[in-house]
């Protein structure tokens, strides 16, 4: 197991439950914005679907709290697959289930382990959706976030510092989808008309990364 930062709190099931609290609140708050973005290049339901999925996941985890960080992510991913409509359910479910399975049954993990788990999840998203960087999808937020997270950890940064860098990169990545032409998903059918609109999936992905940053900061990581 990778060593924990000497001055950081444990990344355990409680940490991931607090992340879920933060993510659910952020999705609920920003659901109208996500739906507005989706109305321009999608089916105008991304915010509604994500809110429903995270609300269901939050309820499920509260009712039967997993006792490992991997277990929390797997539980959330499972709920998203079953309750989120369209492509978002399978994509976000794959992201979190793969990450959770990569963490395994460890009761406590280090920041580098969480990074590696998220990388496995992001790779799963790319495989499932057949997308890559620059296709105007959630990967345009997740891939820069991973790069920034890894860079900060490799440079000796703590968990909070590393996730803060990841959150900034994810937000910048989401905004950078505005001038892109969509090559995957519903938006790709619009061709040139998809240019000039921020991708809703990249935007919601940035919210999830920011929730990690907020959780780590509040924990004093």
How is the chain split into domains, by residue range? 11-219
Tokens representing 60 are 């499920």
pLDDT reported for residue 16: 98
Nearest alpha carbon to residue 171 among 196, 148, 152, 189: 148
Strands (E), the chain: 11-12, 108-109
pLDDT in tens, 90-147: 999 999 999 999 999 999 999 999 999 999 999 999 999 899 999 999 999 999 999 9
DSSP 12: E
Kindly report the length of the chain. 221
CA angle, corner 138, sides to 161 and 31, nearest 5? Answer: 90
Flag the least confident range among 12-16, 167-171, 183-187. 183-187
The label of the residue with tokens 């910048």 reads 172
Distance, in Å, from the CA atom of 33 to the CA atom of 27, rounded to the nearest integer, reads 10
Long-range Cβ contact pairs of 151-159 (< 8 A, separation 24 or more): 153/111, 153/112, 153/115, 158/5, 158/7, 158/8, 158/111, 158/221, 159/5, 159/8, 159/9, 159/11, 159/111, 159/216, 159/219, 159/221
Reduced to 3 states (helix: H, G, I; strand: E, B; else coil), residue 13 is: helix
Q: Does residue 5 surpass a pLDDT of 60?
A: no
Inter-residue contact 178 to 150 (CB < 8 Å): no
Level-2 CATH architecture, domain 11-219: Alpha Horseshoe (1.25)
Tell me the pTM. Answer: 0.94
pLDDT reported for residue 8: 56
Rg (the chain; Cα; Å): 16
């Amino acid at each position: 197991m990778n060593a924990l930062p000497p001055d950081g709190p444990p990344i355990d099931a409680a940490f991931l439950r607090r992340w879920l609290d933060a993510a659910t609140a952020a999705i609920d708050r920003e659901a109208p914005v996500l739906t507005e973005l989706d109305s321009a290049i999608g089916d105008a339901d991304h915010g509604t679907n994500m809110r429903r999925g995270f609300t269901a996941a939050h309820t499920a985890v509260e009712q039967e709290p997993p006792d490992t960080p991997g277990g929390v992510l797997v539980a959330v991913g499972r709920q998203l697959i079953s309750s989120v409509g369209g492509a978002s359910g399978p994509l976000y479910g794959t992201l979190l289930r793969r990450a959770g399975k990569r963490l395994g049954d460890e009761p406590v993990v280090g920041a580098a382990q969480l990074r590696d788990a998220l990388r496995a999840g992001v790779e799963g998203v790319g495989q499932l959706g057949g997308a890559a960087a620059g296709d105007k999808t959630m990967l345009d937020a997740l891939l820069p976030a991973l790069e920034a997270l890894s860079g900060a950890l490799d440079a000796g940064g703590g968990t909070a510092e590393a996730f803060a860098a990841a959150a900034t990169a994810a937000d910048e990545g989401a905004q950078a989808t505005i001038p892109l032409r969509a090559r995957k998903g519903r938006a790709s059918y619009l061709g040139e008309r998809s240019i000039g609109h921020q991708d809703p999936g990249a935007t919601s992905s940035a919210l999830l990364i920011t929730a990690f940053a907020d959780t780590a900061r509040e924990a004093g990581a």
